[in-house]
Amino acid sequence: MGETFTVICEIPGGEGTYWSYDWRPERFTTYYTTNERTFYNVGWEDNGNYQCRGNKGLSLTEWSNVIPVTISFKLHPVLTVSPSWLSPGASVTLSCEIEYPSEGWSYYWYKAIPNMDIKEEPYKYELLPDGSETAQTLYIITGQTHTAAYVCRAQRGRNYYYTYYSKPKFVWSADLYSAASLTVGPVEQRLGFDFVRLTCTGNSTWWRVRKFPENSVPYCSDVWNLGESVCTLYTVISYSDDGVYWCESMSKQFSNAVNITLQGM
């Protein structure tokens, strides 16, 4: 069930009298007929300074003392994709999990689309077919042939304050794609260092190179380039740049993906 906490409102001398109760923070229901409120599956959005007061007809008590509540975790859903590398004819299964599942959650499924605005998140989200307000934590995709990115959203009830997005997860394809292509050049040498060029080409005017994992992102990654995009990786000093690379275009295309191990080149 996850973590819970309860706040109790006590009115000295008010025993045996029918009271209703107002509560703060005000984004919660302010009118309550019991003097206890229990919060379930709490997350960071439950942080705040809690107060109560008694309400009896036209008679109101003063607001109580403040009880500060601090919660450090947030209920981000975790999205997994299987398989992570596409094979011909295989379907892709998306699984969306939250840390403390319970009744009342619904799930939304999106495809992540490259976002050119560098002041915003790297991706925008487009709802997948039949991907709105499902009760299932699984979503199966058929017919996917190229590299793609997906996101899930978990929402509790119809309160948008309790809505959480996962981080994008990728399914990669090594197959060449005419609309978007990543080419890995031969090892060259410059100023005594070996390096390799990654080049993005296809039916778009703007490109960027992306990498997974993001433990060490090359300078050229995340930078949108007009025309052909070239990313240079130095094989001697950039061993932490090992990972899966692909290109993304402003025409919403993902290229083939290449798993690069620089130390072995």
Tens of pLDDT, residue by residue over 38-53, are: 776 666 667 889 999 8
Average model confidence (pLDDT) for the chain?
81
Whole-angstrom CA distances from 184 to 161, 177, 190, 235, 254 are: 45, 14, 17, 13, 16
Domain boundaries, the chain: 5-69, 78-171, 180-264
pTM: 0.68
**Residue 2 structure tokens:** 């996850």
| Alpha-carbon dihedral sign for residues 97, 99, 102, 107 | negative
Whether 5-69 and 180-264 share one fold: the answer is yes
**Residue 220 structure tokens:** 């050229």
For 47-87, what is each residue's pLDDT tens digit?
A: 889 999 888 867 789 999 999 988 766 667 899 999 999 98
Q: Can you tell me which residue has the tokens 């209920």? A: 75
CATH for the stretch 180-264: 2.60.40
User: Which architecture characterizes domain 78-171 according to CATH?
Assistant: Sandwich (2.60)
What does the alpha-carbon distance between residue 180 and residue 86 come to, in Å, rounded to a whole number?
17
Q: What CATH superfamily classification does 5-69 receive?
A: Immunoglobulins (2.60.40.10)
Query: Residue 1 in contact with residue 40, Cβ under 8 Å?
Result: yes
